[in-house]
Amino acid sequence: MGKYRVAQVGCGHRGKHHIDGFLRNPDRFELVAVCDINRERLEAAAAQFGIAKTYADAETMLAAERPDVFCFVTQPNVRLAMIELGLRYGPRAIAFEKPMATSLAEARRIRDLCGQAGVKFIVSHQQKYGDHWHKAKALYERGEIGELVRIHASSRAWLSQLGTHLVDYILWFNGGRRATWVVGHVHGRKALADSHPSPEYTEGEIAFENGVRAFVQFGYLSPQWLPQEKFWTDNRITLYGTHGYAWANTDGDWAAFTKASGGQVIGEALARWPEQETRLLQPRYLRDLADWLDDEAKVHPCNGEISYHGYEIMAALVYSALDHRRVDLPLREIPAEGEIARLARELPGH
């Protein structure tokens, strides 16, 4: 097994979880340096985690350290710029936060640039490393709910905040099979100015090549499963089979009605979100990156290709709503105008 040198940009809330994830895998990673333009955040993270080398400029860090893995944990509006910068310094892999981009054109550019350079990349859809998600998936894979026919996913948070996670997990539950078409609806301008810009509400239907259909709802009209104080974990994915169902949410719950459950709903509450975020998810997600760098056959579950397809599905939901039509996938041509710019231009005000 290899041990890989890491340099990271971003020391905020999520950045600290990435730092911790690398440090919890000391046999697989050496975190050689961190960078942040905010000196207070930088110094606080360096002190908290005992990191000797710090930088205020990303390019200076990359030029000096030449890491195997470049990780950046920033707001979405600098995704492409960070990718272009990182690729100039020859990393073997790049790891970054969701959403993959702020437009499909940008996402495709990221995918293509990394592919041309032979650089692996992963997008942090790390929540699926929670044990409760795996409990639900195992029931389906063992045939305990029969043949999968339908998936329903909902999130109180909007498309680019939590919707991007749930679209990725739909793909994961469905074995990575590709979507063939979508129809979508969007409305509401309030979240367009958010750091993760999105329609205020998105819903739609996704058809997959194996016949499974997914129905999605992201935003304020989605079902409320949890108390308001758990807004950011108030979501659910339900797998409907021919003989039962299974569901899980971000907050650590799962439940199921199966062939073997004797007419009862079974389930349990596992690690809650604070424990997942601070201790469990990021180390598992990052360890899989080291395994992929060791062995090409061990493709990371959050790899660039599946992440791009998830982003393509989200963009297609928006295109479908704005154009009033079904959108077939994969998309061959991408409009020059980004989805958010078009939403800002076309969505009516309140």
Terminal-to-terminal C-alpha distance of the chain:
56
Structural domain span for residue 245: 130-271
Domain assignment present for residue 309? The answer is no
For residues 119 and 150, state if they share a domain: no
For residues 144 and 45, state if they share a domain: no
Q: HSE-up of 101 (CA within 13 Å, CB side)?
A: 23
Q: What is the pLDDT of residues 164-214, one digit of tens each?
A: 999 999 999 999 999 999 999 999 999 999 999 999 999 999 999 999 999
For residues 94 and 60, state if they share a domain: yes
Alpha-carbon separation of residue 235 from 13, 242, 254, 334 (angstroms):
21, 23, 12, 30
Domain assignment present for residue 341? The answer is no
Structure tokens at 260: 């073997």
Sign of CA dihedral 199, 319, 154, 304: negative
The CATH number assigned to the domain holding 244 equals 3.30.360.10
Task: Give me the helix-helix angle, 339-346 and 304-323, nearest 10°.
Answer: 20
For residues 63 and 189, state if they share a domain: no
For the question of whether the overall pTM of this predicted structure is more than 0.85, the answer is yes
Integer Cα distance of 152 and 170 in angstroms: 9
Q: HSE-up of 204 (CA within 13 Å, CB side)?
A: 31
The CATH number assigned to the domain holding 116 equals 3.40.50.720
For residues 71 and 163, state if they share a domain: no
Tell me the percentage of the chain whose pLDDT exceeds 90. Answer: 98
Q: Give me the number of domains the chain comprises.
A: 2
pLDDT band per the 50, 70, 90 thresholds, residue 309: very high
Q: Given this model, what pLDDT does residue 350 score?
A: 60
Integer Cα distance of 65 and 61 in angstroms: 6
